[in-house]
Every structure is written in structure tokens, then in C-alpha cells.
Amino acid sequence: MDITAAPYTNHYPALIGFMDGQPQSERINFPNNNVFVRCQLPNSGNWTNAPAKILSTTNDPGFVNFAKGNLQLRADSEVFKQLPEFRPIPFERIGIEK
């Protein structure tokens, strides 16, 4: 998919040219209410983020059953404590439909 063409540019006109290199012009990435588990934060090039609005951990943040691939979050998950505006991801609605 080409995010630099329609329908993306029609729906998100503010992003037109965002990915183009612009020397000495900072592009700011605001990953609000995002959870990063066992991976690096997206801090490369001239991208920045708001650390208070994300949770990055090397530990299980409260998955129902990570070993069996159930990435739903338990109600007592650390994610909800640190990111009160985080909305659970509807994993049951994501993926291939039969």
C-alpha cells in the first residue's frame, strides 16, 4: 500500500509530504497510549516521542497468556495504571476472517 497517495492523502491531508526529507526541520512522532514490549522505542533519525505517554517494558505488562499468544490485557495490567487513557486492542476483530 502506498501511504503517500489516495485514499490516504485524501483522508489525512496534513500528512502530505510528512515522510519527505526536510533538512533542519524536525518531524515529531507522538505515539500516545502505545505499549512497547521487548523492543526498542521508535527513536531514530529526527523523530521524537512523548515518553510520559507511552509504556516501554521488557517484562510482561499484564497479558492474559503471552505464552499461548493471548495478548489481551488483564484488568489489573500495568498498562492501565500507567496509561489511563489506553483503550484495549480488539484482537478478536483483527486478522484473517473465515
Q: pLDDT tens-digit profile of 39-80?
A: 877 665 555 666 778 898 999 999 999 999 889 999 999 999
- Residue 22: the pLDDT is 67
- Specify the number of domains making up the chain: 1
Q: Is residue 6 part of a domain?
A: no
**Bridge partner residues of 63 (DSSP):** 73
- Residue 74: the pLDDT is 95
Which residues have a Cβ under 8 Å from the Cβ of 87 and sit 6 or more positions away?
33
Q: Can you give the residue range of the structural domain that contains 42?
A: 23-89
Q: Is residue 15 part of a domain?
A: no
> pLDDT confidence of 1, banded at 50, 70, 90?
confident
> What whole-number distance in Å separates Cα of residue 3 and Cα of residue 45?
20
**Which position has the higher pLDDT, 24 or 94?**
94
